[in-house]
């Protein structure tokens, strides 16, 4: 079992940029690495979030289902939750969350996870539709993404922070997914406002990274002409 100071990562952000979307780890195996996590889906079939051991998939049409044991994902993070939690905190928006954390913790250069659970005044998420081979690039896929908004709801944010030195193979900075308690809205978190609830932070000493070394498309790809960081930033940040 992966320890509570270990963050598991399967796949890389660099893979996703040119369209290497094959799922290469299934949910059953993924759950051996954590009860908490966020990731993509096979062929970029939606956005996934594992909360308290339950793997949920938010598809391009916004529908939320429990991901099947055999569902596969190309790029995912997971860990076993052991958050240090502060209760009844107010956070204005996504930007303020980072400001708050770095004001109180010297975590700029380490890997950590953040979990928010409570009430939100407003949440904006997005998801993407399953693509077919030959897969388009990440930026082209993002053009057909759907965005979702909701007000006055309760829900959970699970996020990971990677220092900038990791920006080519993960998402540098924060990467967050959301699911509402009633599962009416979820996906990749673009922004939120007016959070009031519990903030959990869990820092890691180790990164356990697994590469899809049996995937022919991954082995064959020439990454030289992919501008990894620019594409991740374009696709991951709100425009």
Residues 6+ apart with CB under 8 A from 238: 124, 190, 191
128, 218, 231, 235: residue in contact with its own copies (rule CB under 8 A): 218
52, 132, 134, 222: residue in contact with its own copies (rule CB under 8 A): 222
Q: What are phi and psi of 233, to 5 degrees?
A: -65, -40
Burial class (CB in 10 A: 0-12, 13-18, 19+), 224: exposed
Is 40:24 a contact under the CB 8 Å cutoff? no
CB of 103 to its own copies, least distance (A): 15
Query: What is the per-residue binding string for its own copies in 156-195, x denoting contact by CB under 8 A?
Result: -------xxxxxxx--------------------------
128, 185, 199, 228: residue in contact with its own copies (rule CB under 8 A): 228
Under the binding rule (CB under 8 A), the answer on residue 208 touching its own copies is: yes
66, 82, 219, 230: residue in contact with its own copies (rule CB under 8 A): 219
In SS3 terms, 71-111 reads as CEECCEEEECCCCEEEEEEEEEEHHHHHHHHHHHCCCCCCE
Is 169:59 a contact under the CB 8 Å cutoff? no
Q: What does the alpha-carbon distance between residue 6 and residue 34 come to, in Å, rounded to a whole number?
A: 10
CB-wise, 79 or 117, nearer to its own copies? Answer: 79
Query: What is the per-residue binding string for its own copies in 80-119, x denoting contact by CB under 8 A?
Result: --------------------------xxxxxx--------
CB-wise, 1 or 213, nearer to its own copies? Answer: 213
CB-wise, 153 or 207, nearer to its own copies? Answer: 207
CB of 56 to its own copies, least distance (A): 26
Segment lying near its own copies (by CB under 8 A), choices 26-34, 71-79, 140-148, 202-210: 202-210
Q: Give the C-alpha distances (Å, rounded to integers) separating 65 from 22, 199, 228.
A: 20, 26, 31
Under the binding rule (CB under 8 A), the answer on residue 230 touching its own copies is: no
Q: What does the alpha-carbon distance between residue 171 and residue 173 come to, in Å, rounded to a whole number?
A: 6
Q: What does the alpha-carbon distance between residue 192 and residue 157 come to, in Å, rounded to a whole number?
A: 10
Q: Which residues would be at the binding site for its own copies (CB under 8 A)?
A: 12, 14, 106-111, 163-169, 203-211, 213, 218-224, 228
């Amino acid at each position: 079992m992966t320890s509570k100071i270990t963050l598991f990562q399967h796949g890389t952000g660099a893979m996703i940029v040119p369209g290497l979307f094959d799922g290469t780890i299934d949910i059953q195996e993924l759950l051996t690495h954590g009860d908490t996590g966020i990731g993509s889906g096979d062929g970029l079939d939606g956005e996934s979030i594992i909360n308290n051991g339950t793997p949920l998939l938010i598809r391009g049409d916004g529908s939320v289902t429990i991901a099947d044991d055999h569902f596969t994902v190309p790029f995912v993070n997971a860990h076993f939750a052991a958050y240090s939690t502060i209760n009844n905190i107010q956070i204005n928006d996504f930007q303020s969350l980072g400001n708050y954390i770095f004001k109180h913790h010297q975590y700029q250069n380490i890997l950590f996870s953040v979990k928010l659970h409570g009430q939100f005044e407003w949440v904006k998420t997005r998801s993407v539709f399953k693509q077919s081979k030959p897969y388009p690039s990440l930026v082209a896929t993002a053009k057909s993404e759907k965005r979702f908004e909701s007000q006055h709801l309760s829900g959970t944010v699970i996020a990971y922070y990677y220092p900038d030195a990791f920006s080519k193979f993960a998402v540098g900075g924060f990467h967050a997914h959301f699911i509402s308690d009633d599962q009416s809205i979820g996906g990749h978190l673009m922004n939120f406002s007016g959070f009031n609830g519990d903030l959990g932070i869990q820092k890691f000493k180790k990164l356990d990274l697994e590469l899809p070394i049996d995937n022919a498309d991954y082995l064959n790809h020439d990454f030289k002409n992919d501008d990894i960081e620019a594409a991740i930033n374009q696709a991951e940040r709100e425009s």
